[in-house]
Structure formats: C-alpha cells, structure tokens
C-alpha cells in the first residue's frame, strides 16, 4: 500500500485529504505540525508527502530541507498565499510540486497520481550514469558533478538536466519538458519550466563548462548544446 504523509495543522483539510486518499487506495498518515512530520518521516517509509508551508513548531520549508538530506521522496508543498517567492523557495529546496489553497481535493489526488505514475515508469527503467566532457550525472544517487565537484541541485533540476543532456543538441519545447517531467496531469504552465531552467543555469554557471551549455532556442525551447564538436 502507498503511504502518504499529510502534514497540515488544519485538521479539517487533513481529514478531507485523508478521506480522498483512502478512496484512491492510499494509506494516509497525519501530522499536525512540522515536528511530528519529521518524526513520522524518520519512522515510516513514505511514497509521497503533502506538506503545508505554514505549520507550528517547524514550518514546511524546514521540514522539506530535513527530508531532502536523506530522501528523494516526492513532496507536494501546500501554500495558503500562492506568492511566487514561496513557490520558488519550495522548488529550490527540493519540492516536486506546489498547490495553492483553497484547492479541490480531486485536483490534489490528480497531481499525486501523476507523480506516482512517473515514478513507477522511472523505476522500470535501468538507471544510467551520463558522462560528457566534465559533466557527470548519476541518477542512482541523484548527484551531478562538474570537474569532479558536486553541484548542489534539486531533484527536479537534476531530472531536467538529465533529460536535456541525454539527447544532446535536440531542442525540447517547454510543453515537451512540462509533460515529460511533471506529467500530463500537471496543472501548472510553461513558466514552471522557465524558472527551473533559470535556476539550473545559475547553479551550473558557477562552474566552468566551455564545451557544453543549456541553450535557449528563442520561440521554441531549450537544448543541451555541444559547443566543441570534437568532444
């Protein structure tokens, strides 16, 4: 059975989400504050986590950071305000998705299904290590190295870099990337791709990579470009 952690101090919201989760065949486990959420995470293996931003004792951002120290379990952040800085912060620290209150429980479950389907598909595929020039991407342990130095990237940024790099010089439209990495059921828009690309570039540009780059093809999308054809 799929274990789902629902961390939210609003008991009404938690109980509604738990009810819908049970209808999907999931096993919901509730946490009313961030401290309990971390304790639950340390004792139970979860398949997916719904994490409210504004919680007592420890907020959702800190809980997410703590979880990401040891796990790549999918995390959907729940925010009451829906302000861009909260969404960006959540994605930057490793959340897979975000949803804004008020929301429809059916929408939340649709996003959960989309993420779990993608994970099931990924688990059936052989994990590989991609190496090109001074770049190494290892999906077994979700690590990226440039010149043998670890690059601190979020799970989604690593998946984005992996998708682009594995088909060098192929142009991906924003819709292609949105569907491949977030799933057809994702309710966001192509700006999600743009913001991830922007953050990914800012991080990898701290390291020298003269023979490759993430290039924008204006009006089309993005590609991993070989800048030295002899490589």
Q: What percent of the chain has pLDDT over 90?
A: 53
pLDDT band at residue 120 using 50, 70 and 90 as cut-offs: low
d(CA 77, CA 48) in angstroms, rounded, equals: 11
Q: Give yes or no for residue 188 having a pLDDT over 70.
A: no
23-37, 116-130, 142-156: range with lowest mean pLDDT: 116-130
Q: Right CATH number for 126-226 from 1.25.40.20, 1.10.10.10, 3.40.190.10, 1.10.340.30?
A: 1.10.10.10
Q: Which two tokens mark 186?
A: 């994702």
Listed by start position, the domains of the chain span 3-123, 126-226
pLDDT band at residue 100 using 50, 70 and 90 as cut-offs: confident
* CA nearest to 40, candidates 82, 7, 81, 85: 7
Q: To which H or E segment does residue 137 belong? A: strand 135-138
Mean pLDDT of 117-126: 60
Which pLDDT belongs to residue 83? 66
Q: Does domain 3-123 have CATH number 1.10.10.60?
A: no
Which pLDDT belongs to residue 231? 39
pLDDT band at residue 217 using 50, 70 and 90 as cut-offs: very high
Average pLDDT, rounded, for the chain: 86
Q: Which two tokens mark 76?
A: 């959907």
Q: What pTM was computed for the model?
A: 0.61
Between 68 and 5, name the one with better pLDDT: 5
Q: Give yes or no for residue 177 having a pLDDT over 60.
A: yes
């Amino acid at each position: 059975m799929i274990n789902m952690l629902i961390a939210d101090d609003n008991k009404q919201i938690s109980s509604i989400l738990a009810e819908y989760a049970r209808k999907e065949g999931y096993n919901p486990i509730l946490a009313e504050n961030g401290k309990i959420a971390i304790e639950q995470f340390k004792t139970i293996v979860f398949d997916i986590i719904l994490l409210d931003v504004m919680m007592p004792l420890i907020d959702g951002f800190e809980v997410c950071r703590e979880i990401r120290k040891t796990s790549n379990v999918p995390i959907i952040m729940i925010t009451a305000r829906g302000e861009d800085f909260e969404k960006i912060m959540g994605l930057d620290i490793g959340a897979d998705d975000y949803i804004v209150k008020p929301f429809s429980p059916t929408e939340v479950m649709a996003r959960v299904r989309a993420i779990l389907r993608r994970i099931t598909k990924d688990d059936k595929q052989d994990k590989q290590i991609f190496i090109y020039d001074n770049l190494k991407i290892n999906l077994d342990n979700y690590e990226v190295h440039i010149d043998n130095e670890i690059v601190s990237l979020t799970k989604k940024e690593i998946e984005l870099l992996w998708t682009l790099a594995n088909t060098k010089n192929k142009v991906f439209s924003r819709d292609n990337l949105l569907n491949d990495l977030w799933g057809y059921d994702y309710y966001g828009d192509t700006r999600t791709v743009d913001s991830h690309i922007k953050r990914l570039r800012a991080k990898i540009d701290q390291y020298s990579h003269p023979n490759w780059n993430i290039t924008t093809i204006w009006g089309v999308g993005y590609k991993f470009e070989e800048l030295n054809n002899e490589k």
